[in-house]
Amino acid sequence: MSTTTAGGSGTAARGARPRRRTARTRARIDDVWTYLGLLAVLLFFGIPLLWMVSLAFRNQQEILVTTINPVPDHPTLDNFGQVLRSAQFPRFLLNSAILSAIGACGAIAVAAPAAYAFSRMRFRGRPVLLVGVLALQMVSPLVLAFPLYRYFASLGLLNSLPATGLVYIAILMPLATWMLKGVFDGIPRDLDDAAMIDGATRWVAFRRIVLPIAMPGLTAVFVITALLAWAEFVVPFILLTSPAHLPISVGILNLQGTYATNSTGILAAGSVIAVLPAIVLFVVLQRFIVGAFVSGALKG
């Protein structure tokens, strides 16, 4: 009896090893496909960016010559110098910073209470409203371009940065609501209940208990929405026409017609400079984003 049992255990162990190896092999194959997919995405988005950087360091002669060499033969900083000497370019950057701050801060201010309600309360129509909020994010600004222009023109709000910032808030609010709902879902409800047992209202519990704990997640959402606002093009292109009010995403187009020589290189240099603030913001605050993802604050 003991011999048979030992033999059976050995057979089971030998049968389990191939299954473990098969699972490991499948996991490695899945990892390979994942990395190949990520590499394809990186090449799809990275090659145009690298080519833009290459054009920024080329003179007019090298740009006119058809070549696939990514490294300029005679790199120059003249394009960056002409962009930085432009009187309008600093104003474009300032306008983008103002609109990004209005959009990100306003979206969080509006989305945080809504996300907290979706996370903590149970009410009729809650799943439908959640789907509706997500559906708003899928509406392209191009669909609303003409009626939005007519509406702002009738109110006399064209060429107004604060009014345009309100549109930024409306565009960013659905995404911020969904992300902040995940942030609040990761915070135990017992903290809210304990505060309310001690006499605090739900608003006080939200403001003094939940928000401080959710600060890393709030910072992550702020960075993401600010970057999206910085890259917004359609809304300012429609609502802002004066060069003094244009953000960098739209104002950079003016550089192409301002300079008669090497306008392509100057436009590329301006694009590189326009991307740098977004990169700096992400690098400085990336620890909040990474911390939020690692802790599972942005799940769901």
Between residues 255 and 155, the one the model is more confident about: 155
Q: Are residues 140 and 203 in the same domain?
A: yes
DSSP label of 91: H
Is residue 291's pLDDT more than 70?
no
Identify which of 93, 50, 82 has the alpha carbon closest to the alpha carbon of residue 69: 50
CB atoms within 10 A of CB 285: 15
- The answer to the question of residue 62 being in a domain is no
- Above 90 in pLDDT, residue 165? yes
| φ/ψ bin of 271: left (φ > 0), alpha (ψ from -120 to 50), beta (otherwise) | alpha
For the chain, first and last CA: distance in Å?
53
For 96-107, what is each residue's pLDDT tens digit?
Answer: 999 999 999 999
Based on the domain organization, do 193 and 46 belong to the same domain? no
User: Does a structural domain hold residue 190?
Assistant: yes
Render pLDDT for 229-241 as a digit per residue (tens, 0 to 9). Answer: 998 988 999 999 8
- Give me the number of domains the chain comprises: 2
Q: What is the dihedral of CA 112, 114, 119, 124, to 10 degrees?
A: 180
pLDDT top residue among 86 and 92: 92
Q: Which of left, alpha, beta for 43 (phi over 0: left; psi -120 to 50: alpha)?
A: alpha
Written as one letter, the residue type at 26 is R
| DSSP symbol at 121 | -
According to DSSP, residue 245 is labeled G
Residue 115 belongs to a domain: yes
Tell me whether residue 299 is in a domain: no
- pTM, whole model, 2 decimals? 0.78
Where in the sequence is the domain holding 29, given as residue range(s)? 2-56
Question: Do 83 and 33 fall into the same domain?
Answer: no
In a domain, 166, yes or no: yes
CA–CA separation, 107 and 37 (whole Å): 32
Look at residues 57, 46, 50, 91 and name the one whose alpha carbon lies nearest to residue 264.
57
pLDDT at 139 over 70: yes
Cα(161)–Cα(240) distance, integer angstroms: 8
Q: Are residues 207 and 104 in the same domain?
A: yes
Q: Are residues 152 and 33 in the same domain?
A: no
Q: Cβ distance 230 to 278 under 8 Å?
A: yes
pLDDT tens per residue across span 38-88: 899 888 888 888 888 888 888 877 777 766 777 777 788 888 888 888 778
Within a domain: residue 65? no
